[in-house]
Amino acid sequence: MLSIGTLAKRTGTKVQTIRYYEQIALMPTPGRSEGGQRRYGEAELDRLAFIRHSRQLGFSLEAIRELLDLSDSPERSCAKVDAVTQKHLRDVEARIARLDALRIELQRMISECSADRVADCRILEVLRDHEECLADHDRPGA
């Protein structure tokens, strides 16, 4: 049996995060020692490692909850796991597209700046007038 500190070290997860995962029921309520300390086994270690890796891959807590529920029923079809992962991939691709547009806009702003005087700075001009910005960040409907 592992203490919460040992579980934290073995998974690279903060103790506070483990407690939070317990509060939101991503992690099961742990058993307790006679002294009242949380105790974890290999199943909890594996589950926390799954959660941690999923978070590193950018999955939301809701998606992780769904994936954990699916993994708890190994006889079920993998189609739902694929669907959750496909949705996450679409979200990642959309974020990448927004970041690419942002990179292009920043490059454009820099290339149009003569860097002579602040009064003539094209970057500051674009930042003052959002309508001149070509990127789709924080615009209604974007």
Domain-wise residue ranges, the chain: 1-75, 77-142
CB 135 within 8 A of CB 103: no
Q: CA–CA separation, 100 vs 132, rounded Å?
A: 18
Residues 120-135, mean pLDDT to the nearest whole number: 75
Predicted pLDDT of residue 124? 84
What distance in Å separates the CA atoms of residue 27 and residue 45, rounded to the nearest whole number?
A: 10
pLDDT tens-digit map of 46-87: 999 999 999 999 999 999 999 999 998 989 999 999 999 999
How much is the pLDDT for 140? Answer: 47
Q: Give the pLDDT confidence of 11-47 residue by residue, as tens digits.
A: 999 999 999 999 999 999 998 988 889 999 999 999 9
Q: Which two tokens stand for residue 9?
A: 């070290």
CATH class of this structure's domain 1-75: mainly alpha
User: pLDDT tens across 76-122, in order?
Assistant: 999 999 999 999 999 999 999 999 999 998 898 888 887 778 877 87
pLDDT at 59: 97
